Structure 1
Amino acid sequence: MDEAGWFRSGDIGRLDGQGLLYAVGRLKGVIISGGENIYPAEIENVLADCPGVREAAVVAMPHSRWTETPVAVVCPEGDEPLSTADVRAFAGGRPARYRTPTAVILRDTLPRNGSGKVDKPALRARLLASGATTGE
């Protein structure tokens, strides 16, 4: 608890018109692209509905014009062919155009931490080390 009695969890939420609280992400995971706040969980939720996608993770990658930009790493489901263009087209404009991943990278698996969650810092480090681009 801080001095004002608030517990700082690091979670970010929003209230709807009826006063219901929705968790939209983690403060440290927010991508700030061209001055816009982008929550990876929102994009990941859209990608979860994309045909042929088993799982997806979104991380911030450096971008020359926007400072950073969302990049999606997608694991295909089964043996069905999945193109990065199809994934981008599916995600385009959902929930907003500026939140569409600037690049989609296909991988068989995502790195996990000891509790089984996707290890986004490790994923981002791997992408940077491999020279992955943001579609600039």
Structure 2
Amino acid sequence: MKKILLTTLLLILTITINAQTIFGKWNSRTDEGVVDSVLEIYEKEGKAFAKVVEIMNPDRKDARCVDCEGEFKNKPILGLDILSGLEKDDDEWSGGTIIDPRNGKTYKCYIELVKPNKLKLRGYIGVSLFGKTAYWERAE
């Protein structure tokens, strides 16, 4: 009986810890509220990055970032690292950039876990006052 109780507590603790991190898979929504892609946030050398791991619209599976500039120009959106170089600063990750493959623009950004399964992402130009906030929900 003790083994079952200990295993259950360990499992609950593991689930709780994993749910309180920015890392994992997240649903990105259009302005209309429709999930259009799944992004995976991962850590590399102490910084946070995110790549597109799934595109929901079958007609867009082979879409390319035609409006992007530089190294991202005409790259497939599936597998594209759209979020890069964020560093942990208290409760948020900041100092990085995000590319919007819909329009090809690059913004400064920060992200913050506002609930265990809800992530606040703010993209902006210059100062965060001039920008847009999106909320991503953890993908299951």
Note whether the superposition's TM-score is higher than 0.5: no
Name the TM-score, length of structure 2 as normaliser.
Answer: 0.27
- Of structures 1 and 2, the larger Rg is shown by 2
Larger strand percent: 2
